[in-house]
Amino acid sequence: MSLKPNAKVVLEVRDLQTYFKTDAGIVKAVDGVSFKLHEGETLGIVGESGSGKSVTNLSVMRLIPSPPGKVVGGEAIFEDRDILSLSEKEMRSIRGAKISMIFQDPMTSLNPFLRISTQMVETIRLHNKELSRQEALERSIEMLRLVGIPSAEKRVRDYPHQFSGGMRQRVMIAMALSCNAKILVADEPTTALDVTIQAQILELIAKLSAKMGTAVILVTHDLGVVAGMCDHVCVMYAGKIVERAQTATLYAKPAHPYTEGLIKSVPRMDTSKKGERLYSIEGQPPNVIDLPPCCPFHPRCPKAMEVCRHAYPPLRDLGSGHEVSCWLYVDEKERVYE
Amino acid sequence: MNKQKPLLEVRDLKQHFPITSGAILQKQVGFIRAVDGISFDVYPGETLGIVGESGCGKSTAVRSISQLHKPTSGSVLFGGVDLVTADKETMLKARREMQMIFQDPYASLDPRMTVRSIIAEPLVIYNRRGLLEKPMSNIEIEHRVEDLMERVGLNKLFKNRYPHEFSGGQRQRIGIARALALNPKIILADEPVSALDVSIQSQILNLLSDLQKEFGLTYIFIAHDLAVIQHISTRVAVMYLGKFVEISDAVRLYDNPLHPYTTALLSAAPIPDPAIEKGRQRIILSGDVPSPDKERFGCYFYDRCPKRMPWCSCHIPPMFDHEPGHQVACWLYDPERDYHAVTMEEAVRDSASSQVV
């Protein structure tokens, strides 16, 4: 949570489009997403299931199964190169070393047949060829200590099933940061964990990213987690970023009706009153197959206008990096459609 | 506080699952103490929220109450009958008034049944056995299904569709309609909103509170999300390792949590407001929830408690009445004695002597 002014941009994603071919039609899971990630920043990506937040990150990591999925457009600039156009071999030297990722379910991301030591040494030596097996093992133990695993030198010999859910996620974080990654992509890292363990893991991610200067992309559906962790937030809906702002601004003055509804519909421990009805966004999230060129939120939007049914709203800057894609913020004269 | 007669009385309910080992000759090597002696009353018209982390036994507790698992010991009094010892016939009658809603709307609906037959199934079964107040004809059942669908916000034209054609929130509405079909008095809801997205979650929570007002329902509502529990409950029980550690009115519990575990749980839950989150002091508990397979002689929370005293290591705290309607199982709140000064040796000696007696 310590973003310096004029921090360098480490990753810039421009107009990313990832489509999936299905029998029912083309699913535009991610459709024109752009964002910048600065050095030392924690960027939150929030959205409901199916909004494309995970696919965005998998596309950047080049982990989209193809077929059926395909990155059909856009670029992702990392260290002056577009990583979307790199060869698989070049990508392999970045993935896991400079950009690493942790997932929601730590059990399915660890190999149950291999000891933690084997898996960590493999990762470390793959990216640091000059290290010996012994040196890599020492580095693994050091990393496990850093993430707070007690008696790390013994536990490194254990298998994944011998760890609890929270401990496994710690192992994943240790592994992800073992090559001094520049960017850590955390895809719902605490969704499978209990609140008390979630608090431990979030604190660990915040502490380590500050210490090692890692930029973090935190994907979550939990607005509470975002509030405590992130500098900037992108809100996704139906494959597009509908609003982007500094965390404080977004919660204080949400501009997009969807963001506003989302924030209001979460029951809150501190302010909500007993018996009060919750605000709710009526209807269901849209099916992203063959979306017509309109605002995808208009059927659920309390402020929908005629223009929303006919054209997708352009992105408008409301000042100090607060951007929103909604016709409400477009000048009346410019609300034209064919 | 409610002076009415309780609708449901649970006394010292225990549910232990055997752990076996060996491939052919299965030998019992221990127990998982999933629910380890809980007692509480539920009054008509209230919502009792049960909150706790995964593995604390909250789902097992409601499954034992509804006799989906036969409890190891204890009693569940519902309408003057002890369900634990009840025969099949009595149980059937009791189930008419006690229904469940489950967490996973994908797994709790039969994929090969249409929505109509899912919602009608309880009616058909009870009708066939002659257990309904008055027998229903097929057309009456059909009308009842349509009414229920409309009541929970589903279009009745969809009654011939299958569950896979619905989204998660709609499926949860189907599950709710099925639970309402027999006009139950009490609904046990096991994490009904945990699998849903935020915007859908608020729709379902609103629906549940509307139904409660309209039909005078009583809920036992399980969730791991503290904000959801606070929103829906009139009373809240906090569970840890198979035991209740604190039970109180919802307002009092959130304003003045007593048990160190409740305090930690409340402070760990994120609040969706960056202004508050920045200035917040968290109590970060160390370690994980221990496995419930050991027999414990001290407080169940001893290993992780930031306020533990030597006394707690070898004495299980009973439920103390802190104030009317607010009970807590923690030695810090024993009105008769302050245990801070007791050393470990004295505590162990005391516990040993009391065991001999």
Inter-chain touch B199–A48, beta carbons under 8 Å: yes
> Which residues make Cβ contacts (< 8 Å) with residue A92, sequence separation at least 6?
none
Q: Of the candidates A302, A58, A220, A202, which has an alpha carbon nearest to the alpha carbon of residue B198?
A: A220
> Which residues make Cβ contacts (< 8 Å) with residue B356, sequence separation at least 6?
none
Residue B76, pLDDT > 80, answer yes
Min Cα distance B3 → chain A (Å) is 21
pLDDT string in tens for chain A (338-residue length): 445 667 789 999 999 999 998 888 888 889 889 999 998 899 999 988 888 888 999 999 998 888 888 898 899 999 889 999 889 889 988 988 899 999 888 778 889 999 999 999 998 998 888 889 999 999 999 999 888 888 888 889 999 988 888 888 889 899 988 888 899 999 988 887 888 888 888 888 998 888 888 999 999 988 888 988 899 999 999 889 999 999 999 999 999 999 999 988 888 887 766 667 888 888 888 877 777 788 889 888 998 888 888 888 988 888 888 999 999 988 878 777 76
Q: Of the candidates B58, B51, B47, B36, which has an alpha carbon nearest to the alpha carbon of residue B261?
A: B51
So what's the pLDDT on residue A1?
Answer: 47
- Given a contact cutoff of 8 angstroms between Cβ atoms, the answer to whether B258 and B282 are in contact is no
Q: How confident is residue B212, by pLDDT bands cut at 50, 70 and 90? A: very high
Strand-pair category, B98-101 with B186-190: parallel
| Chain A residues close to B288, C-beta within 8 Å | 164-167, 197
Which CA distances in Å does B213 have to A44, B46, B178, B210? 39, 10, 18, 5
Omega cis (within 30) before B317: no
B222-232 residue pLDDT tens: 998 888 999 99
Determine the 3-state secondary structure of B58 from DSSP.
helix
> Which residues make Cβ contacts (< 8 Å) with residue A63, sequence separation at least 6?
A95, A101
Q: Of the candidates A311, A304, A314, A296, which has an alpha carbon nearest to the alpha carbon of residue A48?
A: A296
B250-270 residue pLDDT tens: 989 998 999 999 999 898 888
So what's the pLDDT on residue A5?
Answer: 65
Helix (H) or strand (E) holding B20: strand B8-21
Q: Of the candidates A16, A31, A128, A6, which has an alpha carbon nearest to the alpha carbon of residue A83?
A: A16
Query: Which residue does chain A place closest to B46, by CA atoms?
Result: A275
Which residue among A248, A251, A266 places its CB closest to the CB of B227?
A266
B281-321 residue pLDDT tens: 888 887 777 777 778 888 999 988 999 999 998 899 999 99
Which residue among B170, B224, B277 places its CB closest to the CB of A195?
B224
- B307 at A interface, C-beta within 8 A: no
Residues B149, B155, B159: CA angle, nearest 5 degrees: 70
> Which residue matches tokens 């299980």?
B316
The pLDDT mean for chain B works out to 89
* Separation between Cα atoms, residue B49 and residue B227, nearest integer Å: 11
Inter-chain touch B275–A222, beta carbons under 8 Å: no
Kindly report the length of chain B.
357
Strands, E assignment, chain A: 9-22, 25-38, 42-46, 69-78, 81-82, 99-102, 183-187, 215-220, 232-237, 240-246, 315-317, 323-325
Least confident residue range of A29-43, B233-247, B264-278: B264-278
* Separation between Cα atoms, residue B321 and residue B324, nearest integer Å: 7
Q: Of the candidates B4, B8, B86, which has an alpha carbon nearest to the alpha carbon of residue B40?
A: B8
Taking residues B14-27, report their average pLDDT: 82
Phi, psi of B116 (to 5 degrees): -60, -50
CB pairs under 8 A between A and B: 134
Which CA distances in Å does B267 have to A155, A266, B57, B229? 30, 17, 22, 15
Min Cα distance B27 → chain A (Å) is 23
Instruction: Read off the tokens for A231.
Output: 């500098």
Inter-chain touch B198–A49, beta carbons under 8 Å: no
Contacts 24+ apart (CB under 8 A), B306-309: B306/B260, B306/B264, B307/B260, B307/B332, B309/B339, B309/B340, B309/B342
B99-118 residue pLDDT tens: 999 988 888 899 999 999 99
Residue B140, pLDDT > 60, answer yes
So what's the pLDDT on residue A274?
Answer: 61
Side chain identity at residue B197, one-letter code:
D
- B165 at A interface, C-beta within 8 A: no
* Separation between Cα atoms, residue B342 and residue A158, nearest integer Å: 39
| Chain B residues close to A252, C-beta within 8 Å | 275
Residue B355, pLDDT > 80, answer no
Residue A4, classified by CB atoms within 10 Å of its CB into exposed (0-12), middle (13-18) or buried (19+), is: exposed
Omega cis (within 30) before A314: no
Strands, E assignment, B234-274: 235-240, 243-249
| Chain A residues close to B264, C-beta within 8 Å | 196
The torsion angle over the Cα atoms of residues A33, A288, A249 and A4, rounded to 10 degrees, is -30
pTM, 2 dp: 0.85
Query: Which residue does chain B place closest to A260, by CA atoms?
Result: B199
Strand order in the sheet with B47-51: B98-101, B186-190, B218-223, B47-51, B235-240, B243-249, B326-328, B320-323
> Which residues make Cβ contacts (< 8 Å) with residue B246, sequence separation at least 6?
B237, B238, B253, B257, B258, B259, B261, B262, B326, B327, B328, B329, B330
Which residue among B231, B265, B278 places its CB closest to the CB of A267?
B231
- Given a contact cutoff of 8 angstroms between Cβ atoms, the answer to whether A213 and A40 are in contact is yes
